[in-house]
Each structure stands twice: as C-alpha cells, then as structure tokens.
Amino acid sequence: MKSKKVNFRSVKWPLALALALTLTVAVGLPTFGQKHEIGIGGGIVNYTGDLQQSYRLKYSSPGINAFYRRNVSDAWSFRFQLLLGQIREADAEPYDSFAFKRSAAFSDYFYEASVMAEYTFFDYKSGRGFMDFSPYLFGGIGVMGYTGNSIWRQRNEDTGAWEGKKESHGQIALPTIPFGVGVKYSLNPRFELGIEFGARKVFTDELDNISGLRASDGSSYGHGNPETDDWYYFTGITVSYTFFKVPCPYDFY
C-alpha cells in the first residue's frame, strides 16, 4: 500500500514561521545563571484519526522522553526533546456501522525529535517570585517516524465470509508540529517537576493505515478520509536538573 505523500507546500509556511520565531527569541533575549537543564519523563500517548475521532484514555500507550532545556530568561526557554512511544487504537467500540464492519486495529512504535519554545508565566525558581510553580505554554517543530501493523476485516468475494487481514506499514520521517500546556514546580534550586499535555499535528493520514483500504466491492466507504490528517498526544510527568554557573569572585579595586 502506498503512503500518502506529504504536501510540503501546505506545511512550509507554518514550519518556517515557527523556526523564525524560535531564532528571534533565542537571539534577542538575555541569558542568566540557570541556563542549562537536562531531564527525563514518562507518560501516556493517545491518538485521534479515522479509528477514533475524539480523545479518549482507553487505548493509552506508554511514552518516554528525554530533553535538554536552555533557559534564555526567566520567561523564555528552548527545549530539544526526543520522545519514544507507542500509538494504538481499535474499533472495539465502533462509532458507526462502517467501523463495526471494518473491525480494524493498529499498533505503531514511533520516535519524535523536536525543538520547542516555552513561555513560563511566573518567576518560580529565582527566589524573587511569590510562588514556586508556574504554568507554561510550548510550541515548535519536529520530525517523527513510525513502524507498525494494522489489521481489519474484509469479506471474501468467493465464500462471503469475513476474513482477517494484516499489513505492515511505516514512514521514516514526517514533519510534525507539537504544542501544548504544562506546569513546572521547583523542588529546590537544582531539581524541578513538570507535568504537561501536548498535541502533535502530523501531516499524514497513514498512522492507522486505514485510509488506503478498500471494501470487497472496491469502495472506500468506512475506511477513513484521506483528506484529514491524524493526530497524537503525549501527557507526561518530567524531572529535570539545572546546572548552575557560579561566577568567580574578583576585586573591585
């Protein structure tokens, strides 16, 4: 089965704008002592697309992430992140008769590498603020790849019986736009906890490998809409460590 080609004309302007904003903020803002952080985290991955049109927790799958964060001011920071996880869904609770007859399911393993800008609302870690936590927003650009299997039912034209079909699928690199919200909490000057929810816009409808399927009569009804792209979501908890840069003392005279 051929995968749908990504229309880069439709995505190049959002990606270019996100990259321009990232570079502008990175160059224009001053730096401070707590510049560098490293962190790890874990959580759940969810999906919306042809098999599931609304967000639900039933088919949550595990995901882990590791990141480097560069703080360029009390408010702005940039995060370079690697996310690994699984995406899966099934027609176990079909939302219409087409989904019931299709009885499809898929399971993908994926990676995502991204760079994101973060805006933190409150000064929560310098000691000058009035609280030790803050909400934040994030958004950026990334690339993801995946490999997996999909299964579905198809009627045998000779016997009339429903038969199970299985197919492997995957892509190496696709553009994605991650964005979301979170909360950071300072445990002490070096360690902090975070919790966040992020959505990923993927420029393909092939995560579930359903849109290219055909019924026994050759029609594509009930086998997805290739004009609508899939999404996936990561909800996770992180722990990060901040490296301090302590200036050497010097004489004023």
**pLDDT in single tens digits along all 253 residues of the chain:** 444 444 444 445 545 554 555 455 444 444 445 689 999 999 999 999 888 888 888 889 999 999 999 999 889 999 999 999 999 987 766 555 555 566 778 899 999 999 999 999 998 877 666 788 999 999 999 999 999 988 766 655 565 555 667 788 889 999 999 999 999 999 998 999 999 999 999 988 888 887 655 454 444 445 556 667 899 999 999 999 998 765 555 554 4
Q: How far apart are CA 48 and CA 74, in angstroms?
A: 35
Residue 2 lies in a domain: no
Residue 141 lies in a domain: yes
Other C-beta atoms closer than 10 Å to the C-beta of 61 total 18
Q: Is 11 helix (H, G, I), strand (E, B) or coil?
A: helix
Identity at 67, one-letter amino acid code = F
For residue 121, the enclosing domain spans 8-29+37-243
| Residues 215, 223 contacting (CB under 8 angstroms) | yes
Q: Is 226 helix (H, G, I), strand (E, B) or coil?
A: coil
Burial readout 127-153 (b: 16 or more C-beta within 10 A, e: otherwise):
eeeeeeebebebbbbbebebebebebe
- pLDDT of the residue at 81: 97
Backbone angles phi, psi at 173, to 5 degrees: -150, 125
- pLDDT of the residue at 19: 52
Identity at 74, one-letter amino acid code = D
Q: How far apart are CA 139 and CA 142, in angstroms?
A: 10
Q: How many domains, the chain? A: 1
Residue 252 lies in a domain: no
- pLDDT of the residue at 97: 54
Residue 1 lies in a domain: no
Residue 102 lies in a domain: yes
Question: Residue 218 region, left (φ>0) first, then alpha (ψ -120 to 50), else beta?
Answer: left
- pLDDT of the residue at 149: 87
Residue 32 corresponds to which tokens in the numbers above?
A: 């401070």
CATH number at residue 215: 2.40.160.20
Q: How far apart are CA 152 and CA 213, in angstroms?
A: 9
Q: How would you write 41-81 as a 3-class SS string?
A: EEEEEEEECCCCCCCCCCCCEEEEEEEEEEECCCCEEEEEE
Write the DSSP symbol of residue 229.
-
- pLDDT of the residue at 166: 77
Residue 132 corresponds to which tokens in the numbers above?
A: 């030790």
Residue 150 lies in a domain: yes
Residue 251 lies in a domain: no
